[in-house]
Structure 1
Amino acid sequence: MAVLSWGSATIAGSCLLPAPPWMPTDPDDVRAYADLLRRDAETYFADVEQYFRCLDQQRREVFEQAREVSADYVHMLESLQAKE
């Protein structure tokens, strides 16, 4: 069981949550850094999309893993019943 727990932790920890960009509230700063702020926001939204795709992929992988473990567990229980 230790191996399964370690494997699950590996799968669950590989998506990196994007950091939100800094957005100034001072109108002068907004004007002065408008191009940089636009690029940072666009990069953030692209990173968010990539993060969601990563989570979706992890969900599929963990779902498949859980299905396989469930089948193995049923097989183990059936083996125990056959020996009784």
Structure 2
Amino acid sequence: MALLKQTCAVVVFLGWSSVAFAGSCLPPAPLWMPTDPDDVRAYADLLRRDAETYFTDVERYFRCLDQQRRKVFLQAREATEEYARVLEFLGDVRE
């Protein structure tokens, strides 16, 4: 039973850390803003569009990470259930 508890702890950890494995989610390039006031005024429209695009991409990225996390968490839950069945079987064999 202790092994099953350890396995459950691993599943929780995987759920929290699945973001690291979300290889299909690519973060947006960092937003760059000029510091020179003349450049800011000259490119104001472009800077606004770049910022809007950046924040839209950030939202898309976070949604992707959330989806990947849910997917991996469900996979880990299924693996835990399957492994619990194996442990039960092994416990029956040893007795």
- Please give the range of the TM-score, normalised by the shorter of the 2 chains: 0.7 to 0.9
C-alpha distance in 1 between matches for 2:66 and 2:79: 20
User: Percent of aligned pairs with the same residue?
Assistant: 75
Deviation at 1:41, TM superposition (A): 0.3
What's the counterpart of residue 41 of structure 2? 31
Tell me how large the CA RMSD over aligned residues is.
1.4
What's the counterpart of residue 12 of structure 1? 22
Pair 1:47 & 2:57 matched: yes
User: How many residues were matched structurally?
Assistant: 75
Pair 1:68 & 2:78 matched: yes
Query: Structure with the greater relative contact order (CA < 8 A, sep ≥ 6): 1 or 2?
Result: 2
> Secondary structure of the residue that 2:33 maps to in structure 1?
coil
C-alpha distance in 2 between matches for 1:20 and 1:28: 22
Unaligned runs of 5+ in 1: 1-7
Amino acid at match of 1:80: L
Unaligned runs of 5+ in 2: 1-17
What's the counterpart of residue 5 of structure 1? none
Deviation at 1:20, TM superposition (A): 1.9
Deviation at 1:59, TM superposition (A): 1.3
- The TM-score with structure 1 as length reference comes to 0.82
